[in-house]
Structure 1
């Protein structure tokens, strides 16, 4: 995590330099503001990663002679089959289409989003996957 923190802090220094040069050269407020906001976001992420790196053990990417296989192992649990993202995708699509075309599509979007979200949260609390 030390490497990622340093990368983001170097990126923030670069973005600050680009924002100042762009602001003075173009005198365009929207792009300058966007670059300064990107600088702020990069500083926040870099500071968080650098701060967190002091509290956790050294990881494989912190070892200069580390191998890719050093990080091998279980990453986490990922559901092998779930229909809930399909419902969330349909509901999200309908919601954005409602913003584009007309707000009455929200009446179809919200139930689809709620069904998908409810099903995804409680997917492993019922049926054959229920904890005993």
Structure 2
């Protein structure tokens, strides 16, 4: 986790430097504020990178050094199960459709957003209870 944390720390420092420069460069004296969308995007990118950096740094400290992080690490130390990978599922498809319908609701009417939210609730429940029904229940 040490290498990944360093990469995200670099991005945090980069966006912490670039964001104020962007705000200064796009400041519009007539309006009294900088360009809104670009500033918002840069601030959110800075915050998201800081969040991921914090998670990786904290996880790296609590779990210790992985074989990839050590100079004397052996390939065999990384052998074994990598984790649990769920079987194929149709639920991500329904989640994508629900999000698309909700976004189209802003264009064609808010009633469509409510329809997409209903489908989104169905998809969220499907993800929550995926392993309690069907072939993969336990």
TM-score range (shorter-chain normalised) is: 0.7 to 0.9
Corresponding residue SS for 1:80:
coil
In 2, Cα distance between equivalents of 1:33 and 1:96: 20
Gap runs ≥5 in structure 1: none
Corresponding residue SS for 2:94:
helix
Matches within 5 A, 1:103-114: 103-114=110-121
Which has a greater percent of helix? 1
Equivalent residue for 1:75, pick from 73, 82, 88: 82
TM superposition score normalised by structure 1: 0.72
The structure-2 alpha-carbon separation of the partners of 1:92 and 1:58, relative to structure 1 and needing over 3 Å to count, comes to same
Equivalent residue for 1:63, pick from 53, 58, 70: 70
Q: Between Structure 1 and Structure 2, how many residues are aligned?
A: 131
Report deviation, 1:59: 0.9
In 1, Cα distance between equivalents of 2:112 and 2:70: 53
Gap runs ≥5 in structure 2: 29-33
RMSD between aligned residues? 2.9
Query: Is 1:43 matched with 2:18?
Result: no
Deviations 1:55-91 (A, max 9, x none): 2121133123657775454332223221222222222
In 1, Cα distance between equivalents of 2:104 and 2:40: 30
